[in-house]
Chains A and B, each alone.
Chain A
Amino acid sequence: ILNVEQSPQSLHVQEGDSTNFTCSFPSSNFYALHWYRWETAKSPEALFVMTLNGDEKKKGRISATLNTKEGYSYLYIKGSQPEDSATYLCAFFGGTSYGKLTFGQGTILTVHP
């Protein structure tokens, strides 16, 4: 069973704060790490697909880094806004799980105005 862990489980920040959270995954047989954003009453939406150690991806105020050797990825949000409130999911794609993503339990972010 693949272990994909996200921390913290939930996070409350004030509008304008910058924040970050972590996804830990197996460092062996790594192929890709996916990040999704899941807003309430909407479908999960893809943010990033990261494949190379040291990868850094950016989309607006959201960025992510990847360390495949130690098995973690950070997601950063700069200057959080209330519309950033969502559950952020990471998903691991390994060499032994062809075509299948293993998801973490998510980090629930609430940005207070």
Chain B
Amino acid sequence: SQTIHQWPATLVQPVGSPLSLECTVEGTSNPNLYWYRQAAGRGLQLLFYSVGIGQISSEVPQNLSASRPQDRQFILSSKKLLLSDSGFYLCAWSQGRDHTDTQYFGPGTRLTVL
């Protein structure tokens, strides 16, 4: 069966510090991978998605970047965190990009930028 891991679970970082959140998927190959953020009182906002190694699409202009160095690894990064980067970050995967393909979510990382 497939599993998705994210770490760390929680993170408190000062403004201006770098960020690296990691997501890995097991039990499948060539998944589509997604990074979402939930800011306080808001829905899940898609930040990045990837259909293959090195292929990243950005959904919103922001202070973050994503990379996919391996087939089942997705990394969310920032060089200098802003207060507005605080939120709950979820990684997800799907087997395809069809309208009926379910996305499967990881446990998430709560990021607080102080």
Contacts and interface: CB of A to CB of B under 8 A. Distances in A.
What is the interface residue range for chain A against chain B?
A: 20 to 34
Nearest to B59: A100
Contact of B44 (A42, A46, A98, A103): A103
B70 interface: no
A93 B97 CA distance: 10
Interface of B: 4, 32, 36, 41-46, 49, 51, 59, 90, 97, 99-100, 102-108
B43 A101 contact: no
A113 interface: no
A98 B46 CA distance: 13
B100 A46 contact: no
Nearest to B94: A99
Contacts of B45: 103
Contacts of B49: 99-100
Contacts of B108: 43
For B44, B46, B105, B107, which residue has the most chain A Cβ atoms within 10 angstroms? Answer: B44
Interface of A: 4, 6, 31-32, 34, 42-46, 49, 51, 89, 91, 93, 98-106
A32 B94 CA distance: 15
A32 B99 contact: yes
B100 A99 contact: no
A51 B99 contact: yes
